[in-house]
Amino acid sequence: MTRRFDLWATLTDPLIRQNPVTLQILGICSALAVTTSVATALTMAVSLTVVLTLSAGVISVIRRHIPDTIRLIVQIVIIASLVIVIDQVLQAYFIEISRALSVFVGLITTNCLVLGRTEAYARYHPPHHAMVDAFGNGLGYSLILIVIGALRELLGKGTLLGQPVLPLAEAGGWFTPLSLMLQPPAAFFLLGLAVWAIRSVRSEQAEPPQSAELVRKEPGE
Amino acid sequence: MSRGLWDRETVALLLLAALMPMAMLWLWYGGAAAFGRLWLALLVAGAWHLLFMLARAQPPSFAGALSALAIAMLAPVELGPLRLALGISFGVIAGELVFGGWGRNLVNPATVALAFLGFGFPAAPWPDLLAPLAWAAIPAALIGLAAGVMPAGVIGGALAAGLAAQAAAPLPPGIWIAASVALVLLVADPVASAGTRLGRWLNGALYGGLVILFAHWWTGAAPVQIAVAAALLASLTAPLLDEAAIALWLAQRRRRLGQS
CA Rg, chain A, in Å?
20
Are A142 and A35 within 8 A, CB to CB?
no
What percent helix, strand, coil does chain B show, rounded to 5?
75, 0, 25
Quote the CA–CA distance of B222 and B226 in Å, as a whole number: 6
Secondary structure element (H or E) that encloses residue A159, with its range: strand A159-160
Q: Do A221 and B2 touch (CB under 8 A)?
A: yes
pLDDT score at A160: 84
pLDDT score at A163: 81
pLDDT score at B31: 85
Longest CA span, chain A: 65
pLDDT score at B3: 65
Q: How many CB atoms neighbour CB B80 within 10 A?
A: 13
Residues in chain A, pLDDT under 50: 1-2, 218, 220-221
Q: What is the pLDDT of residues B199-231, one digit of tens each?
A: 999 999 999 999 999 998 888 888 999 999 999
Q: How many CB atoms neighbour CB B182 within 10 A?
A: 30
What is the reported pTM?
A: 0.81
| Phi, psi dihedral angles at B31 (to 5 degrees) | 70, -150
Helix count and strand count (H, E) for chain B:
9, 0
Chain A residue numbers with beta carbons less than 8 Å from the beta carbon of B52 are none
SS3 A78: helix
Chain A interface includes B119 (CB < 8 A): yes
CA Rg, chain B, in Å?
18
Are B198 and B246 within 8 A, CB to CB?
no
Closest-CA distance of chain A to residue B221, Å:
18
pLDDT score at A80: 93
Cα-Cα-Cα-Cα dihedral sign, residues B63, B64, B66, B67: positive
Binned at pLDDT 50, 70 and 90, residue B237 comes out as very high
Quote the CA–CA distance of B205 and B164 in Å, as a whole number: 10
Residue A159: CB partners within 8 Å, gap ≥ 6? Answer: A153, A165, A166
Q: What is the pLDDT of residues B55-89, one digit of tens each?
A: 888 888 899 999 999 999 999 988 888 889 989 99
Question: Once rounded to an integer, what is the mean pLDDT over residues B178-198?
Answer: 91
How large is the angle between the packed helices B81-95 and B109-120, nearest 10 degrees? 130
Exposure class string for A68-79: b at 16+ Cβ within 10 A, else e:
eeeeeebbbebb
Percent of the residues in chain B that have a pLDDT greater than 70, as a whole number: 98
Quote the CA–CA distance of B214 and B227 in Å, as a whole number: 9
Alpha carbon distances (Å) from A120 to A54, A77, A115, B137, B183: 16, 17, 8, 60, 52
Q: Do B116 and A180 touch (CB under 8 A)?
A: yes
Which of these ranges, A101-105, B99-103, B137-141, has the smallest mean pLDDT?
A: A101-105
Which of these ranges, A199-213, B37-51, B152-166, has the smallest mean pLDDT?
A: A199-213
pLDDT score at A221: 44
Closest residue in chain A to residue B119, using alpha carbons only: A180
Q: Do A221 and B83 touch (CB under 8 A)?
A: no
B46: burial class by Cβ within 10 Å (0-12, 13-18, 19+)?
middle
B30: burial class by Cβ within 10 Å (0-12, 13-18, 19+)?
middle
Closest residue in chain A to residue B59, using alpha carbons only: A221
Q: Residue A114: which of A20, A8, A5 has the closest Cα?
A: A20
Average pLDDT of every residue of chain B: 90
Q: Do A180 and B120 touch (CB under 8 A)?
A: yes
Question: Once rounded to an integer, what is the mean pLDDT over residues B8-23?
Answer: 91
Chain A interface includes B8 (CB < 8 A): yes
Quote the CA–CA distance of A58 and A127 in Å, as a whole number: 8
Chain A residue numbers with beta carbons less than 8 Å from the beta carbon of B119 are 179-180, 183, 185
Closest-CA distance of chain A to residue B146, Å:
25
pLDDT score at B196: 92
Alpha carbon distances (Å) from B118 to B43, B75, B133, B224: 21, 8, 21, 10
Are B179 and B134 within 8 A, CB to CB?
no
pLDDT score at B253: 92
- Domains of chain A, residue spans: 8-205
Quote the CA–CA distance of B116 and B7 in Å, as a whole number: 30
Residue type at B18 in one-letter notation: A
Binned at pLDDT 50, 70 and 90, residue B179 comes out as very high
pLDDT score at A111: 82
Q: Residue B235: which of B139, B133, B154, B138 has the closest Cα?
A: B154
A165 or B144: whose pLDDT is higher?
A: B144
Are B134 and B25 within 8 A, CB to CB?
no
Contacts 24+ apart (CB under 8 A), B122-127: B122/A179, B124/B76, B124/B77, B124/B78, B124/B79, B125/B76, B125/B77, B125/B78, B125/B222, B126/B74, B126/B76, B126/B77, B126/B222, B126/B223, B126/B224, B126/B225, B127/B73, B127/B74, B127/B75, B127/B76, B127/B77, B127/B224
